[in-house]
Structure 1
Amino acid sequence: MGVGRFVYTPILPLMHTQAGLSAAAGANLATANYVGYLVGALAGILAPVLVRSRLVLRGSLVLLTGTLAAMPLTHSTTVWGLLRLLAGAASALVFVVAASSLLHHLRGHPSHLPGWAIGGVGGGIALSGLLLLGLRSVVDWRAAWWASAALTALLTVGSWNLRPEGAPSASGEKTEGTAPRTHRWFGALFVSYTLEGIGYIVAGTFLVAAIGQGSPGWVGNGAWVLVGLAALPSPALWAWLGHRWSRPGLLLAALMVQAVGIALPALIGGTAAALVSAVLFGGTFLGVSMLALAAGAHLRFPRSVALLTAGYSVGQILGPLVVAPLLHHGYHRALLLAALVVLAAAGAAAVLRIGFPHHMVVVGHTAPVRQRESTEDDRPAAAGPDDALAPHSAN
Structure 2
Amino acid sequence: MAEHRTADGPVAGTTLGGPLWQATGLSLGTLVALGMGRFAYGLLLPSMTADLGWSYAQAGALNTANAVGYLLGAAVAARLMSKFDPRRVFLSGMLVTAASMLGCAGTANVVLLAALRLVSGLAGAVVFVAGATLAVQAGVHLPGRRATMPLGVYVAGSGAGIALSGIGIPPLLAALSQDTGWRAGWLLLGLVSLAAVVPAAVATRGSGVRPAGGTGGSWERRRLIPTALAYLLFGVGYAGYMTFVVALLRNQLAPGQIAVFWIVLGGAGMGASFWWGPLLGRARGGRALGGLLVVVAAGAGIPLIATGPAAALGSAVLFGSAFLSTATAVTAVARRTCPPESWGPAIGGLTTVFAVGQCAGPLFSGVLADQGGLRAGLLLSAMMLAAGAIVSLAQRDHFDRGSQLSI
TM-score range normalised by the length of the shorter chain: 0.7 to 0.9
Which stretch of structure 1 is more off in the superposition, 300-309 or 317-326? Answer: 300-309
Match in the other structure for 1:254: 292
Distance 1:100 1:148, change over 3 A: same
Aligned residues: 359
Give the C-alpha shift of residue 361 in structure 1: 2.9
CA drift at 1:316: 0.6
Partner of 1:11: 44
Paired residue for 1:165? Answer: 208
Q: CA, structure 1 residues 158+73, in 2 after alignment: closer, same or farther (shift >3 Å)?
A: same
SS of match in other structure, 1:49: helix
**How far 1:106 moved relative to its partner?**
4.2
Q: Could you tell me which residue of structure 2 aligns to residue 342 of structure 1?
A: 385
Deviation at 1:243, TM superposition (A): 2.4
1:313 aligned onto 2:355: yes
* Aligned: 1:298 with 2:331: no
Select which of 279, 290, 293 maps to 1:241: 279
What does the per-residue CA deviation read over 1:15-64, in whole Å, with 9 as the maximum and x for residues that have no partner? 12233333221111000101111111211123323662554344332222
In structure 2, C-alpha distance between the alignment counterparts of 1:340 and 1:171, rounded to whole Å: 39
1:146 aligns with 2:183: no
* 1:156 paired residue among 191, 197, 200: 197
Specify whether residues 256 and 243 from structure 1 end up closer, same or farther in structure 2 by C-alpha distance, changes over 3 A only.
same
**Cα distance 1:118–1:357, how it changes in 2: closer, same or farther (>3 A)?**
closer
Distance, in Å, in 2 between the alignment partners of 1:350 and 1:229 is 28
1:59 aligned partner, one-letter code: S
Partner letter of residue 68 of structure 1?
M
Moved more, 89-98 or 298-307: 298-307
* Structure 2 unaligned blocks of 5 or more: 1-31
Q: Distance in 2 between matches of 1:16 and 1:90?
A: 25
Give the AA of the match of 1:146. Answer: L
| Rounded Cα–Cα distance in structure 2 between residues aligned with 1:306 and 1:171 | 14
State the match for 1:230 in structure 2.
268
Query: 1:301-320 CA deviation, whole Å, 9 max, x = no partner?
Result: 98643432221110010112
Name the SS of the counterpart of 1:295 in structure 2: helix
For 2:264, what is the secondary structure of its paired residue? helix
Q: How far does residue 149 in structure 1 lie from its aligned partner after superposition?
A: 1.6
TM-score by length of 2: 0.80
Give 3-state SS (helix, strand or coil) of 1:6's partner: coil
Separation (CA, whole Å) in 1 of partners of 2:185 and 2:214:
50
Task: Tell me, in whole angstroms, the C-alpha distance in 2 between the residues paired with 1:282 and 1:55.
Answer: 30
Question: 8 Å contact 1:296–1:304 — kept in the other structure?
Answer: yes
Counterparts of 1:275 and 1:235 in 2: how far apart (Å)? 19
In the superposition, relative to structure 1, how do residues 159 and 306 fare at CA in structure 2: closer, same or farther (>3 Å)?
closer
2-structure distance, mates of 1:96, 1:225: 25
Corresponding residue for 1:362?
401
Kept in 2: contact 1:52–1:165 (CA 8 A) = yes
Kindly indicate whether the alpha-carbon contact (under 8 Å) linking 1:65 and 1:152 is maintained by their aligned counterparts in 2.
yes
Contact 2:155 2:325 in 1 (8 A): no
Question: Residues 57-136 of structure 1: matches in 2 within 5 Å?
Answer: 57-109=90-142, 110-111=146-147, 112-136=149-173
Q: Report SS of the residue matched to 1:108.
A: coil
Identity of aligned residues (%): 29
- The CA RMSD over aligned residues, in Å, is 2.6
CA shift digits 1:308-366 (9 cap, x unpaired): 222111001011222222122432111111101111111212334xxx347x433426x
What code does the residue aligned with 2:376 have? R
Structure 1 stretches lacking a partner, 5+ long: 366-379, 384-395
